Amino acid sequence: MLFYQCTLTLHDNIFFATREMGILYETEKYLHNWALSFALFEATFIPKPYRLQGAVAQRPGYLETANEQNLLVLNEHGIYVFPALPLKWSYQVNTFKAAQVPYYGQSKQFGERGANRNYPINYGRAKELAVGSLYQTYIIAREPISIPRWIRLGKWASKIQVDAQRLPANAIQQKSGEYSCTHPLNPIDLPGSTRLLLYNRIVMPPVSLVSQSRLVGNYWQISKPDHWSNSHDLSHEVCLPSGVSYGANIAVTPT
């Protein structure tokens, strides 16, 4: 099993509508591993059709084989991306609106056609993760893979720089028992044999993540190899559950 440690640097603002409150749309500071998986492996492992229509366009099917773009294909290749932990982050709030040809969009007031909520429907305020924010994550792969240097993530398809480095085998130890995990995890991707004892919940669609968790099961302990300099930024030990795969915890088997 190969481990890649990735540092993600935001070169543009990232926006996801994690929480919607009236006209304010807020982005969660953790990056979801499913979103990252699509961004990292689009058009290489996961096909990306240009045209989306009907049920496919309206309903996500992350773990459905019937959906052309599903994550199970990564399971077949033995690839798994963990959610990303924010190391340094800040926010910026920006107003957006839907433009029309006359360059002028009149906000629709409550009661007008199409406006059934008591706030204007064609503009909103996006609370975005600001440029310069820094994240860390891990990717597991069965065989060596090429990880793109630049990916596009979020509703604005913002550019992120990915610096990936393969961790040497002697930095990783397979262990079993009770352990703490500081890295965010996706509970649906945990194997059935791993039990979550304690955790903080990060509420976000499509699947809430957990952080600062205490778990029981098989895990990998990643520590800094002696010959590595501090520039590699592997300052503290990290424990990650083993046996993770997309949808491992729910009864969906690839057919």
Partner 1 sequence: MSILTSLKPNFQIAFPRLASGNYVHFLVVRHSQSFPIFQTDGVLNTARTQAGLDASNEKSKQSISRLVMFKRKQVTPERLTGRELLRSLNLTSATAGMDNFCEYNGENSCKKCPDCILYGFAIGDSGSERSKVYSDSAFSLSPYELSHRSFTFNAPFEGGTMSEKGEMRSSINEQDHILPEVSFPTVETLRDSTWEGFIYILGNLLRTRRYGAQESRTGTMTNHIVGIALCDGEIFSNLHFTQALYDSLDGDTARPISNLSAEATMVAEKLLNQEPVRKRQVIFGQQLDELLAEVNSLYQDEERLRHTLTTLYEQTKTYSETYGATAKQETRRKTSRREE
Q: Which amino acid is at 173?
A: Q
Between 48 and 142, whose beta carbon lies closer to partner 1? 48
Give the pair of three-digit tokens for residue 240: 């990650």
Q: 86 preceded by cis ω (within 30°)?
A: no
Between 148 and 225, whose beta carbon lies closer to partner 1? 148
For the CB of residue 252, give the shortest distance to partner 1 in the complex, in Å: 19
Restricted to residues 15-54, the positions that interact with partner 1 (CB under 8 A) are 42-43, 47-54
Between 67 and 218, whose beta carbon lies closer to partner 1? 67
Which member of 20, 106, 107, 132 binds partner 1 (CB under 8 A)? 132
Q: Which of 23, 1, 42, 47 is nearest to 169 (CA)?
A: 1
Chain centroid offset of residue 113 CA? 37
Reduced to 3 states (helix: H, G, I; strand: E, B; else coil), residue 58 is helix
d(CA 203, CA 165) in angstroms, rounded, equals: 30
Which member of 29, 77, 108, 152 binds partner 1 (CB under 8 A)? 152
* x-or-dash string of contact with partner 1, 111-130, rule CB under 8 A: -------------------x
At 33, phi and psi to the nearest 5?
A: -70, -25
* x-or-dash string of contact with partner 1, 165-184, rule CB under 8 A: --------------------
Q: Enumerate long-range contacts of 52-60, CB under 8 Å, 24 or more apart.
A: 60/206
Decide if residue 60 touches partner 1 (CB under 8 A).
no
Residues near partner 1, by CB under 8 A? 11-13, 42-43, 47-54, 57-58, 68, 92-96, 98-101, 103, 130-132, 148-152, 156-159, 161
